[in-house]
């Protein structure tokens, strides 16, 4: 039976863990097993709730303790911060996980911890909990475990046998910026555990090829996160880092976390009225282009465009820079080409390719399939006559990019720009 | 225009298809008994639901379509949406009009209005079934049964039970559709469809069990969960629009974390 002060501990340790944005419970399909509790569904995973900030709650995201020996400027749990500290007892945490899971509150556990004494000591305690959950509580749901930089390979190897996903956060894409904010860390300390995990996964794959019944090692791969807006690093720095990470065979997700000014007193950090939410969103869109739309990072950001356009999405921005690519003929172009049309997503692109075998796909069809014609119409042809005999074709090649860009801004942005021009809005953004 | 009337059952719809082919009819609309007839309804054929005929049509579909599309048809039917009847009827007819080896191809033509409508409705139902996996909240009763009450728009419980059986195979649970007044009870071995008739003590309309029916530590875990739900939110990022978009308000009343209860921190 848990005591009442567990509620308070849970509150403290949740507030300490919440700035880690990773949330997914995807990547592994594992059926229920007799004698065990739970399964994992794979695919998109299951989000069980959405907090007031709109972020999904899939796993119980919590720290074992928020005491920490490091003093990283961007972190709420830094040593020099005067916040309430707590540590959950092992049995308390395990009971909460099991009981939450049985009530369908969560998909599993996302466990992290401040570094206490030394990395090995901390990692050992984390490992003990996941081992317990799997072997004593027979928990078969999802476990995402943070790897503590500097922990030994043996510990990571053991933890990886129980966890579905492991992660180490890069936090800052450029090493010199990282060193300025977290003098005790460098990129090596992050890449080393990443590398060890990857090695474990690849070796495990080989072993499983030879022998069946070898337990899987970190089957859902790795993820990481970068903080956006805490340093002067550009979107180009961030996305180049993401792209090189995605080239690694076990990296599944890179998360972007708009910096929330938690430690306002620190002179090294900017004071933001609001986390850079729009920029964060554009980064996610660019991330999607990298992973699902066949874009290269150089196509999204380059020397002349180091930052993403905040007013329009990165795919539209790319399309406006490359009118020579358009118009795309919906009825003949390859799937990959259709994917590049603004206003067409993976789903509608698949519908188009499937349907055009039976006859010509017209703009009316496209609309019904869910294509955003307001955007797409400037970039496609479907070999239709125009409504009026004298109407000229008006596409991205006929309209100057600047004019088209203006036309395709979202109503909210247009309104805001108009208001700015009138000088009625005093915005605190640079 | 020729109107077909049917009894709004799945077998009825399949029988209507059977009749249309048997009688060489080309009905202009498929309506149910209660619908008002359109102005120019000069001929009405009443479909008499016949399991035998329906079975033959279904067997024909099984021959022509793949597992996926068959499943899509049954899923779309769970929508209980009146706007599905006519497109689905025409969809099935189209499958039989096509040459047998072509049938599984024509159902991929999403430029066809009927194919697109049926697919879209099936997608909506699947989506809501997924929402059951997301938003069902179980309360532990004194006897150890986990009770989850929901009230989905579509009749999606049958699509959710497999998941919960797989996940919670060692705990007895009861999943109850408060709107349709039926549920599924799983006793750790098999699944039973259940209805409560006229038991006034067991009022599940607001979804919560009364205090004396709850397990001893149930309130503690509910409080812990509400505490967690509040603590995980980053105040600088409050975004009620996204919250309500991803988790529509109609599900909130049965969700532990959205209920205001005394004693929560």
What is the per-residue pLDDT for A96? 96
Confidence tier at A429 by pLDDT (50, 70, 90): very low
Cis bond leading into A327, ω under 30°? Answer: yes
Non-local (6+) Cβ contacts of A76 within 8 A are A15, A16, A19, A83, A262, A263
Per-residue pLDDT for A10 more than 80?
yes
Interface test with A, best of B110, B128, B235 (most A CBs within 10 A): B110
What is the per-residue pLDDT for B74? 96
Q: Are A231 and A177 in contact (CB under 8 A)?
A: yes
What pLDDT digit, counting tens, does each position of A256-267 carry?
A: 999 988 888 888
Q: Are B121 and B75 in contact (CB under 8 A)?
A: no
Q: Which two tokens stand for residue A248?
A: 């690694």
Which residue's structure tokens are 């490992």? A127
Q: Do A19 and B234 touch (CB under 8 A)?
A: yes
Q: Do A39 and B135 touch (CB under 8 A)?
A: no
Does any CB of chain A come closer than 8 Å to the CB of residue B137?
Answer: yes
Q: Do A103 and B140 touch (CB under 8 A)?
A: yes
* Angle, helix A401-408 to helix A314-321, in steps of 10 degrees: 160
Range with the lowest mean pLDDT among A37-46, B183-192, B249-258?
A37-46
Does any CB of chain A come closer than 8 Å to the CB of residue B87?
Answer: no
CATH (one of 1.10.8, 3.30.2310, 3.20.20, 3.30.70) for A5-218: 3.20.20
Q: Are B107 and B65 in contact (CB under 8 A)?
A: yes
Q: Are A13 and A63 in contact (CB under 8 A)?
A: yes
Instruction: Identify the bridge partners of residue A62 per DSSP, sorted by sequence position.
Output: A111
Mean pLDDT on B19-38: 88
What is the per-residue pLDDT for B200? 56
Does any CB of chain A come closer than 8 Å to the CB of residue B45?
Answer: no
Which residue's structure tokens are 């100057």? A400
Mean pLDDT on B238-265: 84
Per-residue pLDDT for A163 more than 90?
yes
Residue whose C-alpha is closest to residue A331's, from A367, A358, A292, A368: A358
Per-residue pLDDT for A430 more than 50?
no
Containing H/E element for A413?
A: helix A411-422
CA distance B32 to chain A (A): 27
Confidence tier at A423 by pLDDT (50, 70, 90): low
Does any CB of chain B come closer than 8 Å to the CB of residue A102?
Answer: yes
Does any CB of chain B come closer than 8 Å to the CB of residue A324?
Answer: no
Range with the lowest mean pLDDT among A53-62, A113-122, A357-366, B100-109?
B100-109
What is the per-residue pLDDT for A151? 92
Q: Which residues 205-224 of B are in CB contact (within 8 Å) with A?
A: 217, 220-221, 223-224
Does any CB of chain B come closer than 8 Å to the CB of residue A52?
Answer: yes
Q: Which residues of B fall within a CB distance of 8 Å from A19?
A: 234
What is the per-residue pLDDT for A294? 93
What is the per-residue pLDDT for B49? 94
Q: Do B168 and A102 touch (CB under 8 A)?
A: yes
Q: Are A141 and A80 in contact (CB under 8 A)?
A: no
Q: Which residues of B fall within a CB distance of 8 Å from A260?
A: 234, 236-237
Name the closest residue on chain A to residue B242, using Cα atoms: A54
Per-residue pLDDT for B13 more than 50?
yes
Q: Which residues of A fall within a CB distance of 8 Å from B229?
A: 49, 51, 57
3-state DSSP assignment of residue B174: strand
Per-residue pLDDT for B20 more than 50?
yes
Provide the whole-model pTM.
Answer: 0.90
CA end-to-end span of chain B: 65
What is the per-residue pLDDT for A227? 93
Calculate the average pLDDT of chain A. 90
What pLDDT digit, counting tens, does each position of B185-199 carry?
A: 999 999 999 988 766
What pLDDT digit, counting tens, does each position of A369-399 carry?
A: 999 998 998 999 887 765 555 556 678 888 8
What is the per-residue pLDDT for B131? 95
3-state DSSP assignment of residue A400: coil
Mean pLDDT on A109-118: 94
CA-CA-CA-CA dihedral for A97, A98, A99, A103, to nearest 10: 100
Strand A56-57 versus strand A49-50 pairing type: antiparallel
Q: Which two tokens stand for residue A259?
A: 């910096």
Cross-chain CB nearest to A11 (options B140, B227, B240): B227
Interface test with A, best of B172, B228, B255 (most A CBs within 10 A): B228
Q: Do A260 and B234 touch (CB under 8 A)?
A: yes
DSSP category for residue A28 = -
- The complex's ipTM? 0.91
Range with the lowest mean pLDDT among A45-54, A194-203, A406-415, B202-211?
B202-211
What pLDDT digit, counting tens, does each position of A223-262 carry?
A: 999 999 999 999 999 999 999 999 998 999 999 999 988 8
Q: Which residues of B fall within a CB distance of 8 Å from A15?
A: 231
CA distance B204 to chain A (A): 17
What pLDDT digit, counting tens, does each position of A167-199 carry?
A: 999 999 999 999 999 888 888 989 999 999 999
Q: Which residue would you say has higher pLDDT here, A367 or A384? A: A367
Confidence tier at A410 by pLDDT (50, 70, 90): confident
What pLDDT digit, counting tens, does each position of B143-161 carry?
A: 999 999 999 999 999 999 9
So where are chain A's domains?
A: 5-218, 314-422
Core vs surface per residue A346-379: b (16+ CB within 10 A) or e: eebbebbbbbbeeeebebebbebbbbeeebbbbb
Confidence tier at B203 by pLDDT (50, 70, 90): low
Residue whose C-alpha is closest to residue A354's, from B121, B68, B90, B130: B68
Q: Are A228 and A169 in contact (CB under 8 A)?
A: no
Instruction: Identify the bridge partners of residue B186 per DSSP, sorted by sequence position.
Output: B173, B191
DSSP category for residue B253 = G
| CA atoms lying within 13 Å on the CB side of residue A234 | 13
Mean pLDDT on A264-283: 89
Non-local (6+) Cβ contacts of A19 within 8 A are A75, A76, A257, A260, A262, B234
Count Cβ atoms below 10 Å from residue A176 Cβ, excluding itself: 11
CA A198 to CA A201: how far, in whole Å? 5
Mean pLDDT on A349-361: 92
Work out whether the CA dihedral A45, A48, A54, A55 comes out positive or negative.
negative
DSSP category for residue B5 = E
Mean pLDDT on B83-101: 93
Q: Are A103 and B139 in contact (CB under 8 A)?
A: yes
What percentage of residues in chain A have a pLDDT greater than 90?
65
CA-CA-CA-CA dihedral for A237, A238, A239, A240, to nearest 10: 40
CA distance A189 to chain B (A): 28
């Amino acid at each position: 039976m848990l005591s009442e002060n567990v509620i308070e501990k849970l509150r403290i340790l949740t507030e300490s863990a919440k700035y880690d944005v990773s949330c997914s419970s995807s990547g592994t399909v594992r059926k229920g097993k007799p004698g065990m509790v739970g399964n994992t569904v794979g695919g998109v995973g299951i989000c069980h709730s959405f907090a007031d900030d709109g972020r999904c709650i899939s796993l119980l995201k919590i720290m074992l303790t928020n005491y920490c020996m490091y003093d990283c400027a961007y972190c709420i749990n830094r040593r020099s911060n005067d916040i309430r500290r707590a540590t959950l007892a092992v049995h308390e945490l395990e009971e909460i996980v099991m009981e939450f899971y049985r009530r369908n509150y969560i998909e599993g556990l996302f466990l992290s911890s401040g570094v206490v004494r030394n990395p090995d000591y901390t990692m050992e305690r984390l490992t003990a909990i996941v081992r317990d959950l799997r072997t004593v509580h027979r928990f078969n749901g999802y476990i995402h475990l943070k790897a503590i930089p500097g922990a030994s390979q043996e510990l990571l190897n053991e933890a990886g046998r129980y966890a579905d996903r492991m992660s180490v956060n890069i936090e800052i894409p450029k090493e010199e910026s990282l060193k300025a904010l977290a003098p005790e860390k460098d990129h090596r300390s992050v890449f080393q555990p990443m590398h060890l995990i990857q090695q474990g996964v690849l070796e495990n794959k080989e072993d499983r090829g030879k022998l069946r019944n070898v337990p899987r090692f970190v089957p859902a791969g790795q993820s990481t996160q970068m903080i956006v807006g805490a340093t002067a690093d550009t979107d180009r720095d961030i996305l180049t880092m993401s792209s090189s990470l995605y080239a690694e065979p076990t990296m599944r997700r890179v998360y972007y976390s708009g910096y929330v000014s938690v430690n306002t007193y620190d002179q090294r950090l900017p004071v933001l009225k609001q986390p850079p939410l729009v920029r964060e969103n554009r980064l996610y869109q660019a991330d999607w282009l990298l992973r699902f739309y066949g874009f290269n990072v150089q196509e999204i950001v380059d020397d002349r465009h180091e930052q993403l356009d905040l007013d329009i999405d990165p795919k539209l921005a790319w399309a406006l820079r490359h009118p020579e690519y358009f118009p795309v003929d919906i009825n003949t172009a390859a799937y990959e080409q259709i994917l590049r049309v603004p206003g067409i997503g993976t789903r509608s692109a698949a519908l188009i390719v499937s349907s055009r075998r039976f006859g010509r796909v017209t703009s009316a069809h496209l609309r019904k399939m869910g294509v955003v014609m307001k955007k797409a119409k400037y970039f496609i042809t479907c070999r239709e006559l125009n409504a009026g005999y004298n109407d000229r074709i008006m596409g991205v090649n006929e309209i100057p990019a600047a004019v088209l860009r203006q036309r395709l801004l979202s109503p909210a942005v247009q309104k805001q720009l108009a208001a700015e021009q009138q000088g009625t809005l005093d915005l605190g953004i640079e | 225009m020729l109107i077909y009337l049917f009894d709004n059952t799945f077998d009825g719809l399949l029988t209507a298809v059977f009749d249309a082919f048997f009688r060489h009819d080309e009905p202009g609309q498929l309506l149910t008994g209660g619908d008002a007839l359109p102005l120019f309804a000069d001929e009405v054929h009443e479909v008499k639901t016949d399991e035998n005929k329906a079975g033959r049509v279904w067997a024909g579909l099984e021959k022509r379509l793949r597992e996926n599309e068959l499943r899509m048809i049954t899923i779309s039917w769970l929508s209980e949406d009146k706007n599905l009847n006519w497109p689905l009827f025409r969809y099935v007819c189209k499958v039989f009009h096509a040459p047998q080896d072509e049938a599984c191809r024509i159902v991929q033509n999403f430029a066809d209005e009927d194919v697109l409508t049926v697919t879209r409705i099936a997608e909506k139902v699947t989506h809501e079934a997924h929402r059951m996996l997301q938003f069902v909240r179980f309360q532990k009763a004194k006897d150890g049964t986990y009770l989850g009450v929901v009230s989905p728009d579509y009749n999606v419980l049958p699509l959710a039970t497999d998941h919960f059986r797989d996940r919670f195979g060692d705990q007895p649970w009861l999943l109850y559709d408060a709107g349709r007044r039926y549920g599924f009870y799983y006793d750790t071995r098999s699944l039973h469809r259940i209805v409560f008739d006229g038991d006034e003590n067991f009022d599940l309309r607001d979804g919560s069990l009364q205090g004396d029916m709850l397990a001893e530590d149930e309130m503690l875990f509910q409080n812990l969960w509400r505490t967690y739900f509040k603590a995980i939110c980053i105040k600088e990022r409050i975004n009620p629009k996204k919250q309500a978009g991803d988790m529509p308000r109609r599900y909130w009343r049965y969700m532990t974390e959205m209920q205001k209860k005394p004693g929560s921190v």
